[in-house]
Amino acid sequence: MKRRILGIDPGSRICGFGVIDIVGSQRHYVASGAIRTPQGASLAERVKVLVDGIHQVIDTYQPTEAALEQVFVNVNPAATLMLGQARGACMTALVLKGLPVAEYTALQVKQSVVGQGKAPKEQVQFMVVTMLNLSGTPQADAADALAVALAHANHSGGAIGQLARSGLRVKGGRLV
């Protein structure tokens, strides 16, 4: 059975998404993009745009599993709360479609895709382009989402991945 992974990079204003296929040891690009929530809109309106957008992506590309970046900001409590709200809405959108959702920190994504956790953003984008054999560099949020999907593909290929797909819970690439 073909595995198709939807990676999500949640943000308060822009939510990146990336879809890849795993065929044997190869990863193929399917689609990527960003969902933009209207500036100055209420939380209710932004949540609706986010959830409708994610559901449209799921309905169109029919992924078999999802990976959500574990965000963390420390700028100020208001920004952290807003980001948390967006992430909660993304998680809800995925869960309501019955997708198993793995979570990875930015550090884990970088370690998995570049080989070291402190890699700059450009290096992550370069590796996404290389690994998926893309003809151009995707927009930053889309590239981040593709990186999350690739990290999940790398983490879930082995024994842990098999167990995770059989119903056990994986968080940050480890069974919990």
Site residues (vs a copy of itself, CB under 8 A): 42-45, 47-48, 51, 71-74, 77-78, 80-89, 91-96, 100-101, 103, 169, 171, 176
- Cβ at position 135, least distance to a copy of itself in Å: 35
Nearer to a copy of itself, 127 or 164 (CB): 164
- Cβ at position 31, least distance to a copy of itself in Å: 23
Is 141 marked as a binding-site residue?
yes
Nearer to a copy of itself, 100 or 157 (CB): 100
> Of 141, 144, 139, which is closest to residue 127 (Cα–Cα)?
144
| 21 given a catalytic annotation | no
Burial class (CB in 10 A: 0-12, 13-18, 19+), 85: middle
Whole-angstrom distance between the N-terminal and C-terminal Cα of the chain? 25
**Buried b or exposed e, range 8-41, using 16+ CB within 10 angstroms:** bbbbbebbbbbbbbbeeeebebbebbbbebeeee
| 59 given a catalytic annotation | no
Tally of CB atoms within 10 A around 55: 14
Tell me the C-alpha distance between 152 and 146, whole Å: 10
- Cβ at position 50, least distance to a copy of itself in Å: 8
Nearer to a copy of itself, 25 or 39 (CB): 39
Find the DSSP H helices in 41-175. Answer: 43-61, 77-96, 106-113, 121-131, 140-155, 159-165
- Active-site choice (21, 65, 141, 144): 141
| 9 given a catalytic annotation | yes
Is 9 marked as a binding-site residue?
yes
- Active-site choice (9, 21, 65, 144): 9
| Structure token digits, residue 147 | 């990186």
- Cβ at position 159, least distance to a copy of itself in Å: 20
Is 144 marked as a binding-site residue?
no
* Known binding-site residue numbers for Mg(2+): 9, 69, 141
Give the catalytic positions in this structure: 9, 69, 141
